[in-house]
Amino acid sequence: MADEALVAVATEVDMRQVASRLASLPERGMRVAKLAEILSARSPAEAAWLLDALATAGRAGGPPFDVSLLAAVDLFGEERLPYETQRAIFEAAETLGLRACMDLLLTPEEIADEQAAEPRPLVPGTRPLTLGERKSLARSWDRNVLQRLLVDPHVDVVRLLLGNSHVTEDDILRIATARHASAAVLGMVLRSRRFGHTPRIRRALVRNPRLPLATALRLVGLLNRQELEEIDRDPHLPPRLAVAIRRRLRPVL
């Protein structure tokens, strides 16, 4: 603990120097590159303390810390640091309880995973069930239970549902069409050996706005003309997807 306290004190002084140095740079991209260089030169614990201090001071507002916080947000939003470095800093922050640093490093997908893992009731108004309890129920044969689990947001629950012989294609179609389903859940449905190749599921996935556009564009090549014409009538398709479908529908000269 004494070593951690020394690092924290040193970081408090270093933080001001780093923030001032970043603020002195004229361009946003230059600040991001410099912060990446500074963090890479430090141990994961030192980098975690520095980021936590910058984030805490930056949220309070005022120069030069507001500029340094923006640089940190840009840095992790653009994934300019290697994943291994980010992971090591996150693990150090988790060990040290540096919440502001952890918030900076979390991706939207990881935040969604955290939220999906939180206890939730199977029936509104009843006791919230832990993730472990919901995973256990996903192995059930009880149709009433299984249908209630189709709206569960956690990928582990969906994985078990996809492998449950009592779950039908109609059930999985509900997941594939759900506008609240995460990209991770939809990707798991697509990769399912049992359901991912069925035409109804593929069509539903292509039309779901939560499916990443790159994945939807790849799926277009697997659809026949009738399916493409059906999807083309959807007025809510992303423009690039609509263009790709219409290109496939053009008559071959």
The pLDDT averaged over each successive group of 10 residues in the chain (253 residues) is: 48 74 88 91 90 81 79 76 82 86 70 73 90 94 95 92 96 94 89 90 93 86 88 90 88 58
Closest of 88, 22, 90 to residue 58, by C-alpha: 22
What Cα–Cα distance (Å) separates residue 234 from each residue in 157, 180, 213, 242?
30, 19, 16, 9
Which residues have CB under 8 Å from 31's CB, separation 6+?
Answer: 22, 23, 25, 67, 68, 70, 71, 74
Q: What is the pLDDT of residue 2?
A: 44
Q: What is the pLDDT of residue 9?
A: 44
Rounded Cα distance between 250 and 253, Å, is 9
Closest of 82, 73, 83, 79 to residue 28, by C-alpha: 73
Q: What is the pLDDT of residue 200?
A: 93
Q: What is the pLDDT of residue 110?
A: 56
Closest of 118, 119, 91, 125 to residue 105, by C-alpha: 91
Which H, E and C letters describe the chain, residue by residue? CHHHHHHHHHHHHHHHHHHHHHHHCCCHHHHHHHHHHHHHCCCHHHHHHHHHHHHHHHHHCCCCHHHHHHHHHHHHHCCCCCHHHHHHHHHHHHHHCCHHHHHHHCCHHHHHHHHHHCCEECCCCCCEECHHHHHHHCCCCCHHHHHHHCCCCCHHHHHHHHCCCCCCHHHHHHHHHCCCCCHHHHHHHHHCCCCCCCHHHHHHHHHCCCCCHHHHHHHHCCCCHHHHHHHHCCCCCCHHHHHHHHHHHCCCC
Give residue limits of the domains in the chain: 2-106, 119-249
Rounded Cα distance between 190 and 197, Å, is 7
Rounded Cα distance between 60 and 55, Å, is 9
Rounded Cα distance between 47 and 38, Å, is 8
Q: What is the pLDDT of residue 78?
A: 64
Q: What is the pLDDT of residue 10?
A: 46
Q: What is the pLDDT of residue 69?
A: 83
